[in-house]
Structure 1
């Protein structure tokens, strides 16, 4: 697999090489000269050939973000890298290089045709994200394990596969039957059409093993579907600011850093009186209420947001229709003006008409600005009320959590004092761990431990309250800022420019006397 030019000094993909390649492959004659003079934006290039350049390292291609086809064949490339930003690639040729590992393709999700022919690859791997792959060539490499090809079953759109020239191809019959059986979605193998008879015979030979693989694949698919569903649910819960509150997350977090609380739960009497179980049950019930309330309120907020955008679009549509009627009336009047007998009369009348048109269109835009401002104000007022109500109710529920913690604290303090007295009198009926016994050296120590645990629990509740309040307020602030500063201001500027451009064009007609002939 050596190259005739391996002894030549390796080339570097630099600005000059890329510029030359783009110019060579770009338009010719006058169009080519013009493109060269004006300069070619790499971002506009969709196809690029860098073959036979003795390139060792892929580099400096980050500007070619719209590249669809890339040829890097017949070089001395050792590592697939530097392609991360070429997310629009559909066709990639890396054949006749020195690549040993398939890698660096994770972001190329649009890739349909991948050629790695004649390299040093020993394993097919690291292509999970190439879900659109239809053609793959890894012939003339160092693939030795047929079982490795089972990896390609995940590429459901893969129709053409070239593997010829690899070590496992020496046993031709076994190799072809294995590939055809396990990759039954293939249509072409080594550029030859797979006939149905061969496919059926191959599948029949490996049926037991294939059934087992399919069973495992279905199990994995179900697992992935469940994972995806949980991720989607978590997104909804996070958008509602109540993620994980349908479980024990907040309760568990109170003890995760509370070593004293964990030891105090080992005190004699805590289990018998079911203090922790009672506390957990009541606490989790309140968290569940917050969770359900949060989801309900999130739906209401989203409905309000959707209604707002519907109102905005309705106002824009009505305004646009009014603008169309004004222009239609203008064209009717322009036709009348063009039929006047004297040029001076035409020019004067046309000037008046254009001025009136500008006044009407700009007046219409100001009317829309005022209308949208009212819509935005009403929306903001409604959203502020909804957010305030949400925060108030969440705080009310979390106050219940604090009350439960206070009750739990009192009961734990009572048991701690009783236990201390028993320890001092050596009247404990059961053994306790040395770590727990260390808390009962005196009254101050045990009271301090119980109080410290209590304070930490309250801090966790306070932090959750602050987190929910901060996040929903930030959401509202960012949304309103985007609506006012990005959406509306941008729309208004674009419309003003459109109107002025339209008026300028009409004024140009006067200078060119085009209106004399009528519309």
Structure 2
């Protein structure tokens, strides 16, 4: 039985700090390992930078002769000793005590880097969960509670940060899952279409400088969102239909092939039993080997025909199942094509209505700002330029409209092409799988028959080999 850490600690006889122990615990960074012991023996205590009393069986740190002139020397530092090479924070095992003094050669005491790992005990108790031992002492619940109260503000802030991080991580995971579903269902780019149209519109930055010119876009965005949500619901339902259709087809195919494999196994078992019986008979009477293998040979040739017949039946039925699946799955894809066309027709109508509304608003603004005593000069420079030339304004409106419709057309073409191509690719993959399965099974049958025929011939030839 393993001994508990508490028992091990209880059985350790406490040590007392002596000069020899102090020198043995001196920590020296770098240098030649062969000369470290000599440096420890000859070093003046005032030059000591760090002492590590890890697992020395010390009940307390005192009797530091020659070191009491350093007021910060006895400051305890919690250091985790990982006896099993597992990295991580000191959350369970007992910490050891390291005593470190300032490096006067590097600068003033308290300078950054002077006191490495200097952590108050109360901070450790409040921030490290499930801490059992610290500085060779069992952690008391009262001490933990007091530390928690002392650092309550810090703990509350830490908890808030952790909760916020957890929420952000959850949101990121949900977004990744959602995006993956959109891509899998062939809806990639639909949700961002409105924003993408604006991003790719070279005229939009100038339009928004004209007060009220793009107000109609808010109405377009709202109607677009409604149409998009309805469209997504339809395509996601179709996506579920496709998955169910494939799963059902695969289940039928798997069950059917299992039945054929069971029938083939019956024939193979019958032959194997006959062969084993012939082998035992030949072993008992080697002189009758030629006669004993005749039956298995005849059965082997019949087995070949039986296995090939079963495979031919499998090929025919699989062909029918493939055709049925091809028809059903392609019907869903064609139906989706219609849904895509309907949706994008709605989007084009919304864009056309927006273009008409914005053109009307732009012409009205052109007339308004090109009258005498208009406040055209109060507008931003881009707006003044845009409203100063009617032809240029019309060209900008048309360029914006063309950019929007082009983005709509491109997305529709991509999604429709992907929908039909995916269905065609899946059906081709199924056909290739079926053809490969048939080739592999025929090859297995032929190899099995040939291998067993050779074995039977070898059995029949044992008598001649023995007499020779």
TM-score under structure 2 normalisation?
A: 0.65
How many Å apart are 1:449 and its aligned residue?
0.9
Aligned residues: 365
SS of equivalent residue, structure 1 residue 444: helix
The structure with the largest helix share of the pair is 2
> In the alignment, is the contact (CA less than 8 A) between 2:125 and 2:131 conserved in 1?
yes
Distance verdict in 2 for CA 1:171–1:386, change over 3 Å = closer
How much does 1:459 deviate?
Answer: 0.7
The yes-or-no answer on 1:291 pairing with 2:232 is: yes
Structure 1 contact 255–262 (Cα < 8 Å) conserved: no
Which residue is equivalent to 1:347?
A: 293
**Structure 2: unaligned runs, 5 residues or longer:** 1-28, 35-78, 102-114, 463-468
The corresponding residue for 1:325 is 266
Distance 1:459 1:506 in 2: 68
Q: 2:203 aligns with which of 239, 260, 268?
A: 260
For residues 37-84 of structure 1, what are the alpha-carbon distances to aligned partners after superposition, in whole Å with 9 as ceiling and x for unaligned? xxxxxxxxxxxxxxxxxxxxxxxxxxxxxxxxxxxxxxxxxxxxxxxx
Match of 1:466 among 384, 406, 413: 413
Which of 301, 305, 319 in structure 1 is aligned with 2:242? Answer: 301
Structure-1 residue corresponding to 2:362: 416
Cα distance, 1:450 vs. partner?
0.8
Deviation at 1:268, TM superposition (A): 5.3
Counterpart contact for 2:289–2:459, Cα < 8 Å: no
Structure 2 equivalent of residue 251 of structure 1: 194
User: 1:162, 1:361 → 2: CA distance?
Assistant: 71
Deviation at 1:448, TM superposition (A): 0.6
Q: Cα 1:361–1:275, aligned 2, differ >3 Å: closer, same or farther?
A: same
Could you tell me which residue of structure 2 aligns to residue 457 of structure 1? 404
- Aligned counterparts of 2:174 and 2:347: Cα–Cα separation in 1: 30
Q: Once the two structures are superposed, what CA deviation does each residue of 1:77-129 show, in whole Å capped at 9, x if it has no partner? A: xxxxxxxxxxxxxxxxxxxxxxxxxxxxxxxxxxxxxxxxxxxxxxx9xxxxx
Contact 1:509 1:515 in 2 (8 A): no
Shift of 1:335: 6.7
Q: Which moved more, 1:424-433 or 1:445-454?
A: 424-433
Cα distance between partner residues in 1 of 2:382 and 2:169: 44
CA shift for structure 1 position 429 = 6.4
Equivalent pair of 1:319/1:364 in contact (CA under 8 Å):
yes
Q: Is the 8 A contact 1:136 1:162 kept in 2?
A: no
Q: Paired residue for 1:425?
A: 371
**Equivalent residue, structure 1, for 2:384:** 437
CA distance in 2, matches of 1:406, 1:172: 67
**What pairs with 1:61-210 in structure 2 (closer than 5 Å)?**
136=85, 152=89, 182-185=127-130, 197-198=138-139, 200=141, 203-207=144-148, 208=152, 209-210=154-155
How big is the alpha-carbon RMSD for the aligned residues of Structure 1 and Structure 2? 4.0
Partner of 2:223: 282
Matching residue of 2:9: none
Distance 1:137 1:389, change over 3 A: closer
- Aligned-residue offset at 1:484: 3.4
Q: Which has the larger radius of gyration?
A: 2
Q: CA deviation at 1:311?
A: 1.8
> Is the CA contact (8 Å cut-off) linking 2:308 and 2:445 kept in structure 1?
yes
Q: CA deviation at 1:239?
A: 1.0
Asked if 2 retains the 8 angstrom alpha-carbon contact of 1:180 and 1:186, the reply is yes
Structure 1 gap segments, 5+ residues each: 7-123, 125-132, 139-148
Match of 1:221 in 2: 166
Worse overlay, 428-437 or 306-315: 428-437
Measure the CA separation in 2 of the matches of 1:472 and 1:161: 61
Mapped to 1, the partners of 2:255 and 2:83 lie a distance apart of 44
Structure 1 partner of 2:430? 483
**Is residue 265–residue 276 contact of structure 1 (8 Å, CA) maintained in 2?**
no
Match of 1:372 among 282, 306, 318: 318
* 1:206 alignment partner, SS class: helix
Which stretch of structure 1 is more off in the superposition, 373-382 or 395-404?
373-382
